[in-house]
């Protein structure tokens, strides 16, 4: 783990060099380091090695980590590595790859400690002794029936506190919380957090135990999802890190900036339409960025609260009507307060009271639009099964730019004879 964190501080060539050095010295350490690194970074390092070495390293990893890494290798390399791994281990990886990305099935480990309900405490302990090395983290024993259906759970603490002859059936908690393989990883993280679990068992559609997700994977999921939300709001690709090489960063950021450019031009065409008005009152050009910019900022506030609320499960389609109403109220409140402030400033600055009135009204209109769009757009995206964070920012600020310029310059055109 310490090595993994040193690795993140290195450049790509330095990393490769250090990695090869480590590989010759201590293979176990390499395996451990791979498991702790960002999967993208680890896969990029692996791709430089020959297939037999990769196969050997992947075999040393827990199945979920091996699957994650293997899935990021180039297709031909993936094929040859799979062919070189032990059949049971490559089968585990291939099985896991059948689940969709970001689901419980994909992040679970299939090596789960499950025993039959008729076993006694002493038999469990004997079993635990035998499998001691294979298992990732053991804190619970899951209890299954003849057909491997999950029927209960026993904590290690329970095992310690009960006599050796006691069957699991008698001491297990039958109301075990489990999740299907198809569950979204965010949902798994939410459940683990809500019930303070250390691991959650994963079952197939017939309630047969197929794996478990441990809390360390949940911690990764939470970090990953938080990064995704933050990045999506800012229009940054989720694969990017501070250590991403410059050319790749450029390629990742340019598409988004081009989308931004199109929306910026869209807003400019509104200004273009009012060129005549601006040429008569240049003060409008001075003040118009304030209306658009303030609307954008207010919209981003609303949007951020909404996106985070959706991620944490506090905002749902069901309670959305009340929250939309609330946000619109807040938006109007902001608009009135800031509209008055800006109106007074514009009036004093340019000594034209009507210009103050125009900008004040435009602010109120734009703050209303900012709040309404800031809450509506992520909700609608979520409803359409899209990520509510991605592209929300750009849609919302396009609305506030267009509306800010239009309401301000439009009102100014109406009142033109009084502000000239």
For the CB of residue 275, give the shortest distance to a second copy in the complex, in Å: 5
Pick 23 or 252: Cβ nearer a second copy:
252
Pick 73 or 270: Cβ nearer a second copy:
270
For the CB of residue 230, give the shortest distance to a second copy in the complex, in Å: 5
For the CB of residue 185, give the shortest distance to a second copy in the complex, in Å: 14
Residue 184's CB is within 10 A of a number of other CB atoms, namely 15
Pick 54 or 328: Cβ nearer a second copy:
328
For the CB of residue 31, give the shortest distance to a second copy in the complex, in Å: 14
For the CB of residue 83, give the shortest distance to a second copy in the complex, in Å: 31
Q: What's the rounded Cα separation, in Å, for the pair 396 and 375?
A: 9
How far the first Cα of the chain sits from its last, in Å, is 68
Distance, C-alpha 388 to centroid of its chain: 11
Q: What's the rounded Cα separation, in Å, for the pair 35 and 17?
A: 19
Pick 86 or 272: Cβ nearer a second copy:
272
Pick 184 or 204: Cβ nearer a second copy:
184
For the CB of residue 349, give the shortest distance to a second copy in the complex, in Å: 8
102: left (phi over 0), alpha (psi -120 to 50) or beta: left
DSSP-derived 3-state class of residue 110: coil
Q: Tell me which DSSP letter residue 100 carries.
A: P
Pick 174 or 261: Cβ nearer a second copy:
261
Tell me the pairing of strands 114-116 and 140-144. Answer: parallel
Tell me the pairing of strands 150-155 and 179-180. Answer: unpaired
In 345-415, which ranges are E strands? none
Q: What's the rounded Cα separation, in Å, for the pair 172 and 58?
A: 35
């Amino acid at each position: 783990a310490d090595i993994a964190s040193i690795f993140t501080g290195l450049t790509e060539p330095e990393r490769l060099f250090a990695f090869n050095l480590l590989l010759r010295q201590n293979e176990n350490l390499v395996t451990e380091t791979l498991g702790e690194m960002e999967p993208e970074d680890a896969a990029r390092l692996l791709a430089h090695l020959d297939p037999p070495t990769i196969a050997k390293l992947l075999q040393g990893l827990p199945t979920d980590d091996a699957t994650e890494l293997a899935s990021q290798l180039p297709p031909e390399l993936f094929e040859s590595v799979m062919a070189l791994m032990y059949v049971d281990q490559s089968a585990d990886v291939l099985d896991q790859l059948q689940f969709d990305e970001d689901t419980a099935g994909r992040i679970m480990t299939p090596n789960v400690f499950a025993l039959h309900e008729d076993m006694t405490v002493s038999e469990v302990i004997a079993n635990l002794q035998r499998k001691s090395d294979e298992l990732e983290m053991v804190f619970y024993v899951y209890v299954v029936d003849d057909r491997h259906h999950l029927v209960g759970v026993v904590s290690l603490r329970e095992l310690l506190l009960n006599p050796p002859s006691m069957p699991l059936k008698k001491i297990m908690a039958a109301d075990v919380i489990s999740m299907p393989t198809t569950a979204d990883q965010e949902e798994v993280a939410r459940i683990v957090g809500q019930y303070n679990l250390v691991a959650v068992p994963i079952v197939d559609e017939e309630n047969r135990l197929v794996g478990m997700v441990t809390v360390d994977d949940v911690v990764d999921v939470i970090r990953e999802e938080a990064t995704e939300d933050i990045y999506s709001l800012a229009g940054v690709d989720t694969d990017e890190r501070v250590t991403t090489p410059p050319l790749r960063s450029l390629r990742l950021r340019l598409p988004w900036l081009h989308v931004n450019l199109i929306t910026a031009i869209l807003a400019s065409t509104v200004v273009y339409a009012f060129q005549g008005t601006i040429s008569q009152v240049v003060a409008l050009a001075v003040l118009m960025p304030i209306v658009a910019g303030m609307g954008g900022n207010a919209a981003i506030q609303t949007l951020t609260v909404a996106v985070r609320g959706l991620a944490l499960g506090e905002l749902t389609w069901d309670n959305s009507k009340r929250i939309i109403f609330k946000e619109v109220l807040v938006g109007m409140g902001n608009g009135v307060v800031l509209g008055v402030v800006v109106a007074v400033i514009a009036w004093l600055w340019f000594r034209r009271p009507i210009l103050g009135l125009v900008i004040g009204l435009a602010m109120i209109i734009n703050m209303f639009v900012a709040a309404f769009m800031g809450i509506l757009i992520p909700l609608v995206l979520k409803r359409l099964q899209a990520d509510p964070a991605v592209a929300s920012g750009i849609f919302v600020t396009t609305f506030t730019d267009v509306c800010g310029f239009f309401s301000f310059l439009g009102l100014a055109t109406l009142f033109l004879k009084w502000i000239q």
